[in-house]
Chains A and B, each alone.
Chain A
C-alpha cells in the first residue's frame, strides 16, 4: 500500500465523496493542504471572507442537493465561519467545514492563531471532530459526510492540525460507515399511518403544513400527489417554499408572521393539520396556545426532537418525509373511495373567498414599490430563477411575490435570519447551477454585510444578479419601530450609503439604477440579460411595510393588514 500525507488523503476522500467544488480561504496551517489542492482538478473558489465561504457552500448545497464543502485556516479563519455554520445548522443544511488547526503539540498553549473551534461550534454543528492522528483521517471524513447528509442533515466541522496534514499513513478508502450510536429512523410506523388515514377520511377542514423537511428529503412529488388526491390545501413555512407548487390552486401561501390571510385563517380554523417536515418555529405559530386549536395535529419528521417540542400533537410520526408520504399515498390509494372534491368543497370555497376578500396587496404610487419589483422579476424570469435573499423586508417580499414551483429555488436564511447570507449563497448556488439565472434579493443594509463577495463573483464569472430594494433604512427593524415604538427610528436610518452603481463598477461588475416605476422593467431586463454579475439598485418607497403582519406573541389569526 502506498503512503499518503493527510493533505493527500483529504483530496482523495473529497473525490471519493463526489466533491467537485470547494469554497475557501488559505492561511498558515492549511498551506500544505492548499499546496496539494493545486495538484488536483478540484475547483477551489477563493472567497473574500470566510463567512462568505460557508454561506457559499450552503447556497451550493441548497441549490444542488449535494453536500457543500469549505476549507479555512485556524484562529480567525475558523471563527469567521461560525455565523455561516449556525445558519446552516438552523436550516439543516448539509455542509462540511474543514478548519486548519495549530500542530497537535501546540494545542492548548495559546499558540499563534489557535482557537478551540471544536468547542466553539459544538452547539451549532450536527457533529464535529478534531483529528489528532492521520490514521483516523479517512474514516473521520467518511463519517462526516455520512452524518452531514443523512437523517436530519446539518453542518459537520473537521479540525485538522497542521502536523496531521503533513504526516503520512497507509491509505485505503474506508468501508461504509457504521455508527452504533447514530441510526436515523427513515421508515415510519405503519400503524401510526393507518391512524392518519382514518383522520384524513374524517376531516372536514384539513390543511397540510409543509417545511424545509419536504425539500431536504425531496418529498415534493409525494406531497403533491397526496394533496391533489385528497384535495387538501397546502401552506408552508419560509423554508418550505417550492416544496409544493406556488401556482397550484391548492397552495395557500406562506404561514406565520408574514403569511397570507388565507393561510393563517385556514390554519386557525382547520380540524386536521398534517405537518410535514416542520418544527413549529415561533415565527410560524404566533401564540402557541391559540395555534390551530380546533385541529388534530399529525406531525411527520425525521428528527424526534422536533416533535412535541413547541406544540402538542395528536399523532407523532418519526420518519423520512418522502418515505412516509409515499407510504401514506399507498394506504390512501388502497382503500379510499371518498370523493374528496365534493367533501372539501365548502372548505375550499371558504378559502377561495378569503383569497378574494383579503389577497396579498400593496398600494401602487408614483414611487417604486418593492413588491412591484419582485412581481416584475417573477414575470420576466418566468418563475424560473433561483432566488436567494438577505434578511428583512426584502426576504419577506421575495417569499410573498415570487412563486416557487420547484424545490431548491428559494434559498434564504430562515432559522437564524442571517443578514449577509444572500450574496455569498447566490455565488455558491451559481457555482453549482451554472446555467440558471441566480438572483439575490437584497436590502441596502444586508448587502453591505458581505458585499466583498462581489469580487468572487467577478473573478469566477459567476453571473449573479443582485436586486437591492434600497429604502435607505434597515427596513424590517424600522417597520417594528413604526408599528410598536411610536416611529422612534433609533439607528435604523442610513445617513450614508455608498453609490451601489459605482460600487458595482469598482468591482468590475455592471451597475444599474431605477428611481421611477416605469424604469423597473427595463432595468430588470437589462440586468438579467447582461452576461456577468450585476447590481440593480432600486430606489424604493422608504417607509413601506410588509403586510400581513402578526405582532410578536399574538395569535396568527390577528393580522395587521394593509
Chain B
C-alpha cells in the first residue's frame, strides 16, 4: 500500500491535556505528525487541530478511529481529496546583500509576500499560501541563503457549497 499525506481537521474540547493525549497517541502507536496547528474556534470551549500526517490507507483508517476514540475529541474530518481552502504562514529570514535586494523584492512581490523586518544584510519575509505556493517561493529564495525559517503548518477549512 502506498503512503500518502493526509490533512486532518480535528475538533476537540478546549481542555488542558488534550494536545498531549493526541501527541501521545501518535508517538505511542508510531504514527507520524508532519505538522500540527492548534487554536481556539469561535466557540471558546472547542479548539481546532489541523494536522498533516502520513500513512497508507490502512494506517489512516486506524489514526482516524483512534482519534475518535479519545474522549475529548469531538470530530475528525479528513480533508484530503475534498474541496478545502488551506493556508500556511511562513517567516523567512534571508541574506539580502545590496546586489540581490531588487531580485528578492521582485520574487516576494510576485508571491504577494511582505518584508516585515530589514537589517544591514538581511530581510525577514512573511508569506501565506497553500503548500505548493510556499514550496515554490522557498525554492526561489534558497539560492540567496535562507538563515532561519518558521512555518505554522497548514490550517484548513472545508469549502461550503456555494450555490445555496
The reply to whether A122 and B61 form a contact with Cβ atoms under 8 Å apart is no
Q: A531 CB to closest chain B CB, in angstroms?
A: 45
Does A71 count as interface, using CB distance less than 8 angstroms?
Answer: no
Q: Is A309 an interface residue (CB 8 A)?
A: yes
Taking A118-B17, A305-B62 as contacts, is the C-beta distance between A123 and B24 under 8 angstroms?
yes
Q: Give the complex CA separation of A181 and B68 in angstroms.
A: 8
Number of interface residues of B (CB under 8 A): 20
Chain B min CB distance to A92 (Å): 12
Q: Specify which of B12, B61, B66, B71 is in contact with A126 (CB 8 Å cutoff).
A: B71
Q: Is B69 an interface residue (CB 8 A)?
A: yes
Q: Is the CB of B71 within 8 A of A182?
A: yes
Point out the residues of chain B lying under 8 angstroms from A305, CB to CB: 62, 65-66, 69
**Set A119, A181, A308: member contacting B74, Cβ < 8 A:** A181
Within the assembled complex, what's the spacing in Å between the Cα atoms of A119 and B58? 29
Complex-state Cα separation, A305 to B73, whole angstroms: 15
- Cross-interface CB contact of B21 among A122, A147, A303, cutoff 8 Å: A122
Out of B20, B25, B65, B72, name the residue touching A119 (CB < 8 Å): B20
A122-B17, A123-B24, A308-B61 known; A180+B74 contact, CB < 8 A = yes
Is there contact, CB below 8 Å, between B71 and A147?
A: yes
B61 neighbours in A (Cβ, 8 Å): 308
- How long is the Cα–Cα vector from A123 to B70 in the complex, in angstroms? 10
In the complex, whether A495 has a CB less than 8 A from a CB of chain B is no
The CA of A147 and the CA of B65, in the complex, are separated in Å by 17
Task: Encode contact with B along A110-152: 1 for CB under 8 Å, 0 otherwise.
Answer: 0000000011001100110010000000000000000100000
Residue B78 interfacial (CB < 8 Å)? no
Which B residues lie within 8 Å of A119 (CB)?
A: 20
The minimal Cβ–Cβ distance linking A116 to chain B, given in whole angstroms, is: 10
Of A119, A304, A305, chain B has the most CB atoms within 10 Å of the CB of A305
Distance (whole angstroms) from the CB of A185 to the closest CB of chain B:
11
Any B CB within 8 A of the CB of A38: no
Interchain CA distance A186-B161 in the complex, whole Å:
33
User: Does B73 contact A181, Cβ atoms closer than 8 Å?
Assistant: yes
CA distance A193 to B58 in the complex (A): 24
Q: Please, how many angstroms separate the alpha-carbon atoms of A123 and B16 in the complex?
A: 16
Q: Check A309 against B71 for contact (C-beta < 8 Å).
A: no
Contact residues in A for B28 (Cβ distance below 8 Å): 123
Q: Does A1 belong to the interface (CB within 8 Å)? A: no
Is B88 in contact with chain A by the CB < 8 A criterion?
Answer: no
Assembled-state Cα–Cα distance A180/B71 (Å): 9
In the docked arrangement, what's the CA distance between A119 and B12, Å?
A: 18
- What per-residue 1/0 map shows which CB atoms of B94-111 lie under 8 Å from chain A? 000000000000000000
Question: In the complex, what residue of chain A is closest to B29 when comparing beta carbons?
Answer: A123
| Chain A residues near B71 (CB-CB < 8 A) | 126-127, 147, 179, 181-182
- Please name the residue on chain A nearest to B23 by beta carbon: A122
Which of A130, A180, A181, A309 has the largest number of chain B CB atoms within 10 A?
Answer: A181
B75 closest partner in A (C-beta): A181
Find the B residue at minimum CB distance from A184.
B69
What is the chain B residue whose CB lies nearest that of A151? B69
Q: Are A181 and B13 in contact (CB under 8 A)?
A: yes
A144 CA / B148 CA spacing, docked (Å)? 47
B68 CB contacts on chain A under 8 angstroms: 304
Q: Report the Cα distance A175→B151, complex, angstroms.
A: 45
Docked-complex contact A122 and B69, CB < 8 angstroms: no
Inter-chain contact B69/A303, CB cutoff 8 Å? yes
Interface string of B51-86 (1 = CB under 8 A from A): 000000010011001101101111000000000000
Complex: how many Å from CA A354 to CA B107?
Answer: 77
- Chain B residue nearest in CB terms to A156: B71
Given contacts A181-B74, A303-B69, A305-B62, contact A122 B13 (CB under 8 A): no
Pairwise interchain contact A304-B20, C-beta atoms closer than 8 A: no
Q: How long is the Cα–Cα vector from A304 to B66 in the complex, in angstroms? A: 8
The residue from A123, A181, A309 contacting B72, defined by CB atoms under 8 A apart: A181
B43 to chain A, nearest CB (A): 11
Closest chain B residue to A308 by CB distance? B61
**CB pair B24 A122 closer than 8 Å:** yes
Please name all residues of chain A whose beta carbon is closer than 8 Å to the beta carbon of B74 when the two chains form the complex.
180-181
Per the 8 Å Cβ criterion, residues 1-32 of B in contact with A are 12-13, 16-17, 20-21, 24-25, 28
Q: How far is the CB of B75 from chain A (nearest CB, A)?
A: 8
Residues of A within 8 A of B24 (CB): 122-123
What are 23 inter-chain pairs, A to B, with CB distance below 8 A? A118-B17, A119-B20, A122-B24, A123-B24, A123-B25, A123-B28, A127-B71, A130-B16, A147-B71, A180-B74, A181-B12, A181-B71, A181-B73, A181-B74, A182-B71, A303-B69, A304-B65, A304-B69, A305-B62, A305-B66, A308-B61, A308-B62, A309-B62
Contacts beyond the supplied A122-B17, A130-B16: 5 A-B pairs with Cβ under 8 Å: A180-B74, A181-B72, A305-B66, A305-B69, A308-B58
The 8 closest A-B CB pairs, nearest first, are A181-B74, A305-B65, A127-B71, A304-B65, A182-B71, A123-B28, A305-B66, A305-B69
Q: Which residues of A contact B (CB under 8 A)?
A: 118-119, 122-123, 126-127, 130, 147, 179-182, 303-305, 308-309
B-side interface residues toward A, CB under 8 Å?
12-13, 16-17, 20-21, 24-25, 28, 58, 61-62, 65-66, 68-69, 71-74
